[in-house]
A and B are shown apart, each in its own frame.
Chain A
Amino acid sequence: MAMVQAKSIIYRKLAAHAFLWAWLALIIFPLLMVIAISFRTGNFAVGDIIPSHPTLDHWRLALGMSIVDESGRTIPPPFPVLLWLWNSIKVASVSAVLIVALSTTCAYAFARLRFGGRSLLLKAMLVFQMFPAVLALVAYYALFSRISDYFPPLGLNTHPGLIFAYLGGIALHVWTIKGYFETIDKSLEESATLDGASPWQAFRLILLPLSVPILAVVFILAFITAITEYPVASILLQDESKLTLAVGSQYYLNPQEYKWGDFAAAAVLSGFPITLVFLLAQRWLVGGLTAGGVKG
């Protein structure tokens, strides 16, 4: 039942709503601009929010179709945007799955097992994560070029190499999952142990099913990070056919000509997989999984 409220609270609520709408508009505006640019004739950054001469040319190019310009010339799509998108999805999905697997097992160790240097390691991981990856670009290049000498499939200019590089960034995820594991009563696993479960069985059959929401969160975060990542991918990948969309779409913006329209279409395109993953993962983002297990 609704609580009886004073008049002043109702006004304050209205004010809060107005503020939230304004804030929302401020956030959505850039996205609307990008969408507008992708449908606007010509390659300009400024113009109307609702295009006066809408065109699908930028989208045709992005989707790999040729267009005919005003002088009657056929212009083939300059870059394999769909291939880049596929590369991005591939790299992001595989690295997100591996990151979830790695950080979950890692977090389990930190949350439940006792070993020397445990807290030191935990803190060190966090501290190292604070240095931006950009600082290590040169090191990344040197490392992977050396790996190329010995094991090319994991070296420079390969997707496995890039995924391998992304797997380094799990410290925050380990902390997140560890925090969640610690909220789950230890007696559940102890009970499983008494029931005859091995530590691995207790982890897989008891702890993991209860941790699905946090795993979904980590998967989404890892996926978004990988799909939007630019610096490392731009260093490690060289062939045009190997690029991810985040790196490749920059090709539209060369110093001679900023093709804002084409760039905008590619940018909007890169938002689709993220949206899709989020919608799919949402059904796992449920609370109350551990309800009823412990206490009365």
Chain B
Amino acid sequence: MADVKIEHLVKNYQPGVARDVLRDINLDIKEGDFVVFVGPSGCGKSTLLRAIAGLDDITSGDLFIGGRRMNEVPPVERGVGMVFQSYALYPHMTVRENLAFGLKIKKVDKQTARERVAQASAMLGLDPFLERKPKDLSGGQRQRVAIGRALVQHPAVFLLDEPLSNLDAALRVKTRIELARMHEERGSTTIYVTHDQVEAMTLATRIAVLSPLAEGAATNLEQFGPPLDLYHEPANRFVAGFIGSPKMNFLGGMIEAPDARRTRIKLDTGVSITAGVDTSRAHPGDQVEVGVRPEHTVLLDDPRADNRITGTVLVAEHLGAETFIYLDVGGKDFTVKVRPETPGTARSQFDIGVPTDACYLFDAQGQAFPRTERFTRT
């Protein structure tokens, strides 16, 4: 086990020609952390993982694993085990040979190797398949072989590159829980890459949100913190839009009067609302965007319905346990989560209440204003 420290890491495949893939990444991953790199495709999350593994070199900046600077250290000496998105099982070897390959290469003595393979195989339930070739296994079994192959190495840091993306929905949930349990038991430092924010929220002790590097941006690490911090206090509009499902709704507006506790905002639709945010650094008339999570909206009969937003119903989805209504508010999509029995007739008008403490506010650059209140659903 080891901690991983990344300082001012920059990755560029063709320095001077192409744009940076990663810029000024700083991460301090503690021993036993389960860190998830999440972001849309093209944000460099896999590249960052490969840089940690040593499969890609680092253009500038430093990488430390267990306190040792690893920039020029070959992959095998970094003490990392990796599960590839494609699994990358050796097709011509049996499951047992796949598991034992690394130990054989490293000339680990036969007895120890046998024990470690047996241990991993028992833990992952692979015993019945040890003599089979990968092609005779199901997707989930291959997945487990890939995990087992990393496990037998007793890595200090466990790296997983979108390990669930090739599994069907049911198996994905099952494996997700198994991974969480495995981390609970072994407590090994784990770095996990995914584009699925649900996986990130459920598995991570801390999440690093990455975005595709924008022109002139200082870094593409948007925020690094515990899942609920990212949910409640997103640093910017990108993180706010990425974390949470369904996505946060955004409406354009203008600050009427800056305030350190509660700010009046005039929306583009003409309605004014009150948001529980500290806007003391802003000026009257500043363009802003108000964010509201679908699950933080309430019906008008709720005492917390401080603000009222009106839209036209596009579609209503009745899922039994909950109902989502998709609205058109002044030309923008606005999703609300309401009580299951709420009717929603297409093309009809629909009023929804937005509590003051449910509002997020972002300036023209997308940076969040600090929230002074936190909405809790009772």
* Complex contact B135–A294 (CB within 8 A): no
* Complex contact B105–A195 (CB within 8 A): yes
* Complex contact B166–A295 (CB within 8 A): yes
In the complex, what distance in Å separates the CA atom of A293 from the CA atom of B149?
A: 13
Q: What 0/1 pattern do residues 68 to 98 of B give for CB contact below 8 A with A?
A: 0000000110001110111111111000000
* Complex contact A292–B88 (CB within 8 A): no
Selected from B53, B76, B87, B92, the residue in CB contact (under 8 A) with A294 is B87
B142 interface contact, C-beta 8 A: yes
Chain A residues positioned under 8 Å from B167 (CB to CB): 296
Q: Contacts A192-B101, A194-B76 given: A187-B88 contact, CB under 8 Å?
A: yes
In the complex, what distance in Å separates the CA atom of A49 from the CA atom of B134?
A: 55
Instruction: State the Cβ distance, A205 to closest chain B Cβ, in Å.
Output: 8
* Residues of B in contact with A, size category: 20 to 34
Q: Contacts A289-B92, A292-B142, A296-B142 given: A193-B76 contact, CB under 8 Å?
A: yes
Selected from A190, A192, A194, A292, the residue in CB contact (under 8 A) with B134 is A292
Q: Contacts A185-B86, A292-B135, A296-B167 given: A194-B75 contact, CB under 8 Å?
A: yes
Chain B residues positioned under 8 Å from A195 (CB to CB): 76, 101-102, 105-106, 149, 153
B297 interface contact, C-beta 8 A: no
* Complex contact B135–A196 (CB within 8 A): no
Q: Contacts A196-B105, A288-B135 given: A295-B86 contact, CB under 8 Å?
A: yes
Q: What 0/1 pattern do residues 324 to 344 of B give for CB contact below 8 A with A?
A: 000000000000000000000
Instruction: State the Cβ distance, B1 to closest chain A Cβ, in Å.
Output: 18
* Complex contact B84–A191 (CB within 8 A): yes
Chain A residues positioned under 8 Å from B106 (CB to CB): 195-196
Interface size on A, residues (CB 8 A): 25
A201 interface contact, C-beta 8 A: yes
Chain B residues positioned under 8 Å from A78 (CB to CB): none
A290 interface contact, C-beta 8 A: yes
A10 interface contact, C-beta 8 A: no
Instruction: State the Cβ distance, B135 to closest chain A Cβ, in Å.
Output: 3
Instruction: State the Cβ distance, B141 to closest chain A Cβ, in Å.
Output: 10
B55 interface contact, C-beta 8 A: yes
B143 interface contact, C-beta 8 A: yes
A142 interface contact, C-beta 8 A: no
Chain B residues positioned under 8 Å from A205 (CB to CB): 101
Q: Which of A185, A205, A296 has the largest count of B CB atoms less than 10 A from its CB?
A: A296
B215 interface contact, C-beta 8 A: no
Q: Contacts A193-B75, A195-B102, A196-B105 given: A296-B88 contact, CB under 8 Å?
A: no
Q: Which of B87, B106, B135 has the largest count of A CB atoms less than 10 A from its CB?
A: B87
A6 interface contact, C-beta 8 A: no
Q: What 0/1 pattern do residues 188 to 222 of A give for CB contact below 8 A with B?
A: 10111111110001000110011000000000000
Selected from A194, A197, A210, A289, the residue in CB contact (under 8 A) with B53 is A194
A24 interface contact, C-beta 8 A: no
B137 interface contact, C-beta 8 A: yes
* Complex contact A295–B101 (CB within 8 A): no
Q: Contacts A194-B82, A195-B153, A196-B105 given: A293-B76 contact, CB under 8 Å?
A: no
A68 interface contact, C-beta 8 A: no
B185 interface contact, C-beta 8 A: no
Instruction: State the Cβ distance, A222 to closest chain B Cβ, in Å.
Output: 24
Chain A residues positioned under 8 Å from B5 (CB to CB): none
B139 interface contact, C-beta 8 A: yes
Known: A194-B53, A194-B55. 16 other contacts (CB 8 A): A185-B88, A187-B85, A191-B149, A192-B105, A194-B76, A196-B106, A205-B101, A209-B92, A288-B135, A289-B92, A291-B135, A292-B133, A292-B137, A293-B88, A293-B89, A296-B139
Chain A interface (Cβ within 8 Å of chain B)?
Answer: 185, 187-188, 190-197, 201, 205-206, 209-210, 288-296
In the A-B complex, the 6 residue pairs with the smallest Cβ-Cβ separation, listed nearest first, are: A292-B135, A296-B139, A195-B102, A293-B91, A292-B134, A296-B166
**What are 5 A-B contacts with C-beta separation under 8 Å?**
A187-B88, A188-B88, A194-B102, A196-B105, A196-B106
